[in-house]
Structure 1
């Protein structure tokens, strides 16, 4: 029986090549889109699951509210990990990481930036990550030891086993390679290539509980409760940090909490870090579970739209197969036999479409990887669960798409259909209309989301952020005396307007929080936590920042070593009526609580030094003693290429062996929102795909309707109706369905995008024209699709339509 079904199915598909091609195209595009998104979702969900102890490893996070500022860190105090593992038996092991990326390593005379961290010797045992070469337990126990990845071993030494070899770091210190790690896969939040022993980091034995700088990982014993361990860790923190807070701030934890301050530590599973964290001081940019949900919904939408497209096309051909059904029933075929026949055709078509979809995915993967910033390959199909999933989704699609046409066609009454009366079958007008509404509901929703995302991104690019990021070039890794000489020589180049040296920039760079008090009063209720940046005398001019009052730092003013410049947010928090000339205090020694008085010499206009997702926080500028970190240059317009050539010549002379890698500040600024830009582009691509597939379904339904109303159209033409009138007659029902779909999609689209926009402190509104554009776009495309079938039906000679009457 199955062999007969397959044979007839293949014959039907071959006989109706155009129908089969359209159906295959719709299903293949839908399945390919679904498969691409499935690969994306699988990759996002797979992060950090390859570690041997992934199910028992947790990282400690910090949520701090103090001095009017909220901070959410992935880092904790330096002594917290060691104290916890000694105090609580539920914690089997602990490991800390101090991020110091990037670092400069010498390869002969060449200086190369690498991703580097300092790590406890227990890190690899905590993660369950074996070394390719070396002893896991001893690799980082001694000062001067380093573990590198296999990629680094081959890069610097030309061999995989580089143990025992020496690595020159910073041009002054040699580290001995004591272990080689396998290269980290892309689906790891930890992607460093160089691991130095924590014993080499200066403050690794510090007992400071009031500073959060170390990522701390715990390996819990089997059966240990993360909730209970989390409670114990907060108790531990209060026990040791309390006396230090009392000594430094003159207040107990109870006093601090009464003033609205709080410190809470929480555990996050290693496998949840990538999608559920997104905190300050993360080791790498994280994803978002929100986007996983969004893309999963898009995949489902597109797959359902493709199935609806199949149903509508199959239904549109019902008149061609009605007589076949009638003849089969007269010859004794049961409804279940006919259902089996039609489902076989549907599943066969779906399996063929699935094969084409895999080929389309292979062709589209490079482009998709570029859009989504991924490194996906068809190797995912080799996973034990992906291939069965693919076959399952093909069968599911075939059954879902073919069930309605199968039951619809098999329900025809043989006497009626042999007389040419097709309407005796299933009354399914409402169902078909509902399917069209759903198709365009999904399409309008996706178009709305795309428009809002692009409008927000354009707002970000055009917003005045308080500094001028155009024509500013950043040169990283400039430290000490060479940086000072570099600044002096670069300032002499005619195309350079100004130059500043310092690691604190209004794009991703160094950050430092400190606590200050107004008028020299050490009162925890009036404490202000704010960013404290060291800059030089040319910083404000180079960055294009505006002083609202007072002055900037001057090299000839010795008193500026105890001066400070505040931004508007800091002035508000300190409640300074006349800020210039006022005094504030900073804690100069955390152990003794000793303070130093600072004089406010200027107020700078607020600028967005963090993402536009955040409000502008309080910030202070101090005059830095030793220039270090980065050198930034403001270049004159129209002379940039020639100026950069001169800058490169100076760089190569003063920084021999160090690669010249200028980076424009506007590019660094745009990089903050690269994730949203990628999401917007992917959204647009899949929205257009959804609309295209929906139009294929609409094409089928309009063909079905024209076929059902052939005689009505013939009569209307005999009675004098024009082609335009008939076109309007056939189009108005579909137009109504698209309008209903748009009206249903508008509120859901508004809810989804309003929720997404809440993640930005500075955001656009959802204007009325977004609804209009999304609705009119869907309506226009639908009417153009319908018009092709309607004009064809209206152009038929009425004699041919009515000859059997």
Structure 2
């Protein structure tokens, strides 16, 4: 029976080649889109699940409200991890990570450094908590001794080639010597943090025991509870109240001179809480993350897009199958007269549907193989085609064509098998009534409306995403980020850093230059609490970013002073001067800030103070993502040589960059030369949104393509059904234009209805997306008009091809058979 079904199905598909090609290609594109998005979604959901103890690992998060700022950190105080392990038996182990950014690294005895990113200090318990397999060395002892480092396989190859690195010394920052104690496998891509170098925490130059400082990413491993289940994190988190009273409170009293109760009554707050390891990548929006995270919102959005595209493809199949049902009505009648039962007919038509879907799946797999490299580039992933046959993905891959085939073929199968043979075979009025019902089916109209509704939602979404990205890229951020060159790692020049700056300043095309470790791009920050002089309560301080800069910083970045003056070498007292931004002045409550004095603690114990005089107010500028409001910030004079920034006016940048590199090589021939432009660094903060925009645009275009394929097939069928009507109209004098309008108007009505339905859906969905940004565009009426015009234009072009073809047909041919 199945063999017979397959033979008939194959013959039917070959007989209706145009119909078959449209169906298979439309389904293939829909399935390929669905498979690509499934790969993306599964990759996002897989983060950190490679850890064998992932279900028991939690990161301690810190929420602090102080000095007019609400701060949400992915880190915790340095003593918290050891204290939790010591005081609470539910904690099996802890580990702290302290990322130190980019360092210069080389083998001992070598002269040339490599610039390595994400150098991380870690406790020796790192490998007890996380699953990081070793290639060589003992993970139990690897970081137990000071001056030890564990490196990845990739780092070992870069620095040692094929030699065994165990026991070999390496030099960090030209001064710090560490001995390689272990080589681990490269960390998986689906990890929320990455590092090629883990250094012993015993060498971290840090003032330990600071309960009021948030600098260490702290993870705890909870013991299994009853029946092997992990300890309930919500129950365990209640212990943080005790931690605050027992440890944080006394240090707050010592430094701030106030109890935790008084601290909280003043409107301040300190809160610790636990976040599951597997939730970090998609659910954490904390500050000072170890690496940029994903967003669960995008997983939901792309899952919905995959479902909608698949539904659009299935709708095409159902529309075209039911539309051509009239041509198969007599076939059904003959089969029933010859003894075929309804379930046999259903089986026949379902076999055709599944066969079509299987052919589409084969084509879709080929499309995925070809498209995956480009999709990886757009999505910023490293997904492999091998994942398609992984144990997690293969069942979905097998089930997908069967489910889609049954779903897409169910309605046509039940619809076709329900024909009554006597009405079909005797023809006349009864058959014409059936035929007429095919042409005016409400279901097909509803399905077309649904297709274009989803397409319009995707078009509107794409327009708004790109408008927001354009707004971000063109918004006045309070400084000029174009033509601003940043040379990294200037600290490696030592005392020659200022010489390098002056040498570059002499080059034609260089307007000004500054050396500072702080720039308004993603980087390490330095938060400090400041208090107005004479303030009686230390609960009313201002927590603000404090950046050490030089005399030329404000000029080089083209920031605007709204009051007072810039730092000047003519004023020796400027070493104790401070420049605040407008947000800091507002929180401090100064009406006339120039000349006022503020102070901060000069040591972690709060025993000494340092006082500054406000000499200037800089206009607010964005130093974080536009998702956040501008916070309080201060600038002070400090010899911090992290990077050199140069304002350029040259139009011949390649030549100028060669000259800058030449000056670098003269002073530091063995140090790598690394640079970037500020606008590139700024855009990097919004790389996720740019990727979302590109992906949304791509899939919106594909969804419209699939919808148009269905519309094209339906238009061809409707033109075929009305061939004789068109012939009669032409004989009676109808123009080509009137016939085109006649055939097009019904479809355009459906598209207009879809626009009306899609607009409020798109407005709500994109409004929710924009809520993540503190600075955002307004959703305007013209965006929906543009999306609607695009949808109407695309639909009109699709339908018009068949309409013009039918309108230009010789009426003699269409009426000859009457």
So what's the TM-score if we normalise by structure 2? 0.96
User: Does 2:35 match 1:35?
Assistant: yes
Partner of residue 702 from structure 1, selected from 715, 739, 752: 715
Aligned partner of 2:166 in structure 1 is 163
Deviation at residue 564 of structure 1 after TM alignment: 0.3
Asked whether the 8 Å contact 1:482–1:654 carries over to 2, the reply is: yes
User: Does 2:488 match 1:476?
Assistant: yes
User: Does 2:705 match 1:724?
Assistant: no
State how 1:29-68 maps to structure 2 within 5 Å. 29-68=29-68
For residue 683 of structure 1, give the secondary structure of its aligned residue in structure 2: helix
User: Does 2:329 match 1:288?
Assistant: no
Aligned partner of 1:577 in structure 2 is 591
State how 1:515-594 maps to structure 2 within 5 Å. 515-594=529-608
Asked whether the 8 Å contact 2:22–2:713 carries over to 1, the reply is: no
User: Does 2:611 match 1:597?
Assistant: yes
Asked whether the 8 Å contact 1:503–1:509 carries over to 2, the reply is: no
* Partner Cα distance (1:498, 1:15) in 2: 75
Structure 1: segments with no counterpart, 5+ residues: none
* Partner Cα distance (1:214, 1:482) in 2: 32
Deviation at residue 111 of structure 1 after TM alignment: 1.1
Aligned partner of 1:21 in structure 2 is 21
For residue 624 of structure 2, give the secondary structure of its aligned residue in structure 1: coil
Partner of residue 325 from structure 1, selected from 319, 332, 340: 332
Partner of residue 254 from structure 1, selected from 258, 261, 268: 261
Deviation at residue 555 of structure 1 after TM alignment: 2.6
User: Does 2:799 match 1:786?
Assistant: yes
Asked whether the 8 Å contact 1:484–1:627 carries over to 2, the reply is: no
Asked whether the 8 Å contact 2:489–2:674 carries over to 1, the reply is: no
For residue 554 of structure 2, give the secondary structure of its aligned residue in structure 1: helix
* Partner Cα distance (1:74, 1:308) in 2: 46
Deviation at residue 280 of structure 1 after TM alignment: 1.4
State how 1:680-759 maps to structure 2 within 5 Å. 680-759=693-772
User: Does 2:86 match 1:86?
Assistant: yes
* Partner Cα distance (1:395, 1:477) in 2: 57
* Partner Cα distance (1:445, 1:309) in 2: 18
Per-residue CA deviations over 1:728-759 (Å, capped at 9, x if unaligned) read 22222211111111111111101111111111
For residue 617 of structure 2, give the secondary structure of its aligned residue in structure 1: strand
* Partner Cα distance (1:63, 1:256) in 2: 15
Aligned partner of 1:176 in structure 2 is 179
Partner of residue 208 from structure 1, selected from 191, 207, 210: 210
For residue 132 of structure 1, give the secondary structure of its aligned residue in structure 2: strand
User: Does 2:476 match 1:464?
Assistant: yes
Per-residue CA deviations over 1:636-662 (Å, capped at 9, x if unaligned) read 232433222211111011122222222
* Partner Cα distance (1:56, 1:276) in 2: 17
Per-residue CA deviations over 1:337-368 (Å, capped at 9, x if unaligned) read 12111111110110111111111001001111
Asked whether the 8 Å contact 1:319–1:422 carries over to 2, the reply is: no
Asked whether the 8 Å contact 1:472–1:664 carries over to 2, the reply is: yes
Per-residue CA deviations over 1:554-590 (Å, capped at 9, x if unaligned) read 2342211111001111111112111111111212234
Residues 288 and 354 of structure 1: is their aligned pair in 2 closer, same or farther, counting only changes over 3 Å?
Answer: same
Asked whether the 8 Å contact 1:520–1:583 carries over to 2, the reply is: no
Deviation at residue 802 of structure 1 after TM alignment: 4.9
Aligned partner of 1:377 in structure 2 is 384
So what's the TM-score if we normalise by structure 1? 0.97
Moved more, 404-413 or 133-142: 404-413
Residues 642 and 681 of structure 1: is their aligned pair in 2 closer, same or farther, counting only changes over 3 Å?
Answer: same
Deviation at residue 160 of structure 1 after TM alignment: 7.3
* Partner Cα distance (1:423, 1:218) in 2: 73
For residue 375 of structure 1, give the secondary structure of its aligned residue in structure 2: coil
Partner of residue 154 from structure 2, selected from 151, 165, 188: 151
Aligned partner of 1:227 in structure 2 is 234
Aligned partner of 1:640 in structure 2 is 653
Deviation at residue 304 of structure 1 after TM alignment: 0.3
Aligned partner of 1:360 in structure 2 is 367
User: Does 2:72 match 1:69?
Assistant: no
* Partner Cα distance (2:462, 2:165) in 1: 50
For residue 376 of structure 1, give the secondary structure of its aligned residue in structure 2: coil
Aligned partner of 1:431 in structure 2 is 443
Pairwise CA RMSD: 1.7
Deviation at residue 528 of structure 1 after TM alignment: 0.9
User: Does 2:455 match 1:443?
Assistant: yes
Asked whether the 8 Å contact 1:249–1:522 carries over to 2, the reply is: no
Per-residue CA deviations over 1:204-258 (Å, capped at 9, x if unaligned) read 7x11100000000101001211112211134213321111112222221111222
* Partner Cα distance (1:592, 1:269) in 2: 35
* Partner Cα distance (1:417, 1:369) in 2: 53
Deviation above 6 Å: which 4+ runs of structure 1?
A: 425-428
Per-residue CA deviations over 1:39-68 (Å, capped at 9, x if unaligned) read 000100011101121111111111111110
Deviation at residue 161 of structure 1 after TM alignment: 4.5
Aligned partner of 1:243 in structure 2 is 250
For residue 517 of structure 1, give the secondary structure of its aligned residue in structure 2: strand
* Partner Cα distance (1:724, 1:670) in 2: 50
Deviation at residue 516 of structure 1 after TM alignment: 0.8
Residues 803 and 495 of structure 1: is their aligned pair in 2 closer, same or farther, counting only changes over 3 Å?
Answer: closer
Asked whether the 8 Å contact 2:50–2:131 carries over to 1, the reply is: no
Deviation at residue 120 of structure 1 after TM alignment: 0.1
User: Does 2:455 match 1:455?
Assistant: no
* Partner Cα distance (2:810, 2:499) in 1: 89
Per-residue CA deviations over 1:182-205 (Å, capped at 9, x if unaligned) read 11111111210000000001227x
* Partner Cα distance (1:718, 1:387) in 2: 59
For residue 602 of structure 2, give the secondary structure of its aligned residue in structure 1: strand
Deviation at residue 510 of structure 1 after TM alignment: 2.9
Deviation at residue 330 of structure 1 after TM alignment: 2.2
Asked whether the 8 Å contact 2:132–2:187 carries over to 1, the reply is: no
* Partner Cα distance (1:343, 1:28) in 2: 18
Deviation at residue 179 of structure 1 after TM alignment: 0.9
Asked whether the 8 Å contact 1:565–1:600 carries over to 2, the reply is: yes
For residue 647 of structure 2, give the secondary structure of its aligned residue in structure 1: strand
